[in-house]
């Protein structure tokens, strides 16, 4: 054959979500002379240019929401019949991986990986029912099961969860390590005074991330501490509703909506407390990054404890309306500490060093692909 083993990753698009960030972290750190990543997507993404610069190919088919079930299934079947050269398909579509891997199986693709990145499906009742049906295909179509956490493994694989391979959402921890000079530089660029308390959140503007609760918390906290601001990094379908909520609460002058950014490691330097009140998560890489930057993190009690690096930066809280006062008290409590660089040891020990993760997945791909090491 010649050349590197080409692994096909299947996603909706390559934007800055948690799964996509992990894939890119792996991609940047594997030996691309041995393993190369290609992508089957449905929409353009912000990482597309970088992927192509690193030698990856991007294939595109229409998504089910644009063309309907039958045309989507036919597109998957047609793609895999025309691309039977792939030995490994790695699908990151959660329950929708069932349809992807079923089509790959029919095309005799030998290695079919289902990767769970979540603990619940998004969308309304109809969408969840459709995804449930898709998920029923995973068990018979997948040859390998991966997950970002034990809870994510159980959600998608149920009785087979114990045999799933937990692939940690590793990061380049040194890239996030706190420095006072970086903090001063970023705050200056954002026109934030050195004494202003800055709360932060990084995540898609989607129902899962619970921005409405986050805004309620900030609006109440601002009454306690008028010299405080909230930074929101991300984009998504709920942007208009979130903007309306900000105006309704009268906090538009104190909420910074920065959109999708490529400099998350720098922005984190400026934040005093990280707020993450999600309804559900697999294991959010952004919380690993925030801990890498040494930021106290107040998070929903619906998120797996596996996200805690054991460095006293995570506090889990309920997300009911009556619990808002607890969030306010914890913001006061955690914002009094002094930021300091975090050593890489906890990340290495818990398996969240991306270099180790990339070396492991590279070895696994070569083994699965039948390539001599």
**295 is in which domain, residue-wise?**
173-349
| 159 and 283 share one domain | no
**What confidence score (pLDDT) does residue 339 get?**
83
Q: How many domains does the chain have?
A: 2
Low-confidence ranges of the chain (pLDDT < 50): none
**What confidence score (pLDDT) does residue 13 get?**
94
Shortest CA distance to 286 belongs to which of 204, 180, 193? 204
**What confidence score (pLDDT) does residue 113 get?**
98
Alpha helices, H only, 37-158: 48-53, 64-67, 69-82, 97-106, 125-135, 138-141, 150-157
- Adjacent-strand bridge partners of 202: 233
**What confidence score (pLDDT) does residue 341 get?**
87
What is the distance between the alpha carbons of residues 94 and 11, in angstroms, rounded to a whole number? Answer: 10
| 128 and 184 share one domain | no
| 194 and 253 share one domain | yes
Q: Enumerate helices (H) and strands (E) in the chain, giving the number of each.
A: 17, 13
pTM, 2 dp = 0.90
| 101 and 238 share one domain | no
| 154 and 182 share one domain | no
Span 248-266, pLDDT tens digits: 999 999 999 999 998 999 9
**What confidence score (pLDDT) does residue 16 get?**
85
Residue 207 included in any domain: yes
CATH classification at residue 323: 3.40.50.2000
| 328 and 190 share one domain | yes
Residue 373 included in any domain: no
What is the distance between the alpha carbons of residues 30 and 25, in angstroms, rounded to a whole number? Answer: 9
**What confidence score (pLDDT) does residue 104 get?**
98
| 160 and 285 share one domain | no
**What confidence score (pLDDT) does residue 25 get?**
93
């Amino acid at each position: 054959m010649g050349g590197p083993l080409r692994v096909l990753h299947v996603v909706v698009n390559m934007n800055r979500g948690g799964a996509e960030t992990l894939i890119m972290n792996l991609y940047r750190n594997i030996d691309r002379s041995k393993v190369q990543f290609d992508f089957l997507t449905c929409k353009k993404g912000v990482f597309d240019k970088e992927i192509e610069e690193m030698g990856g190919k991007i294939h595109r088919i229409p998504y089910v929401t644009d063309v309907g079930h039958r045309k989507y299934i036919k597109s998957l079947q047609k793609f895999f019949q025309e691309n039977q050269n792939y030995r490994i398909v790695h699908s990151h579509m959660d329950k929708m991986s069932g349809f992807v891997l079923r089509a790959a199986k029919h095309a005799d693709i030998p290695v079919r990986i289902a990767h769970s990145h979540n603990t619940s499906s998004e969308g309304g009742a109809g969408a969840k029912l459709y995804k449930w049906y898709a998920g029923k295909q995973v068990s018979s179509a997948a040859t390998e099961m991966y997950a970002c956490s034990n809870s994510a493994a159980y959600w998608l694989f149920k009785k087979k969860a114990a045999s799933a391979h937990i692939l940690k959402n590793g990061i380049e921890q040194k890239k996030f390590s706190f420095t006072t000079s970086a903090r001063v530089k970023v705050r200056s660029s954002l026109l934030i005074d050195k004494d202003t308390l800055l709360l932060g959140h990084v995540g898609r503007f989607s129902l899962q991330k619970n921005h409405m609760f986050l805004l309620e918390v900030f609006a109440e906290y601002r009454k306690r501490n008028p010299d405080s601001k909230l930074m929101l990094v991300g984009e998504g379908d709920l942007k208009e509703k979130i903007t309306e909520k900000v105006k309704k609460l009268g906090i538009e002058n104190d909420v910074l909506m920065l959109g999708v950014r490529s400099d998350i490691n720098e922005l984190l330097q400026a934040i005093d407390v990280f707020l993450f009140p999600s309804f559900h998560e697999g294991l959010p890489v952004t919380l690993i990054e925030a801990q890498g930057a040494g930021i106290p993190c107040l998070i929903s009690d619906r998120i797996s404890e596996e996200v805690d690096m054991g460095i006293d930066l995570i506090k889990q809280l309920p997300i009911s309306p009556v619990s808002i006062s607890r969030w306010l008290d914890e913001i006061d409590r955690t914002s009094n500490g002094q930021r300091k660089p975090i050593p890489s040891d906890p990340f290495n020990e818990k398996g969240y060093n991306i270099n180790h993760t990339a070396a492991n997945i590279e070895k696994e791909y070569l083994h699965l692909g039948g390539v001599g090491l």
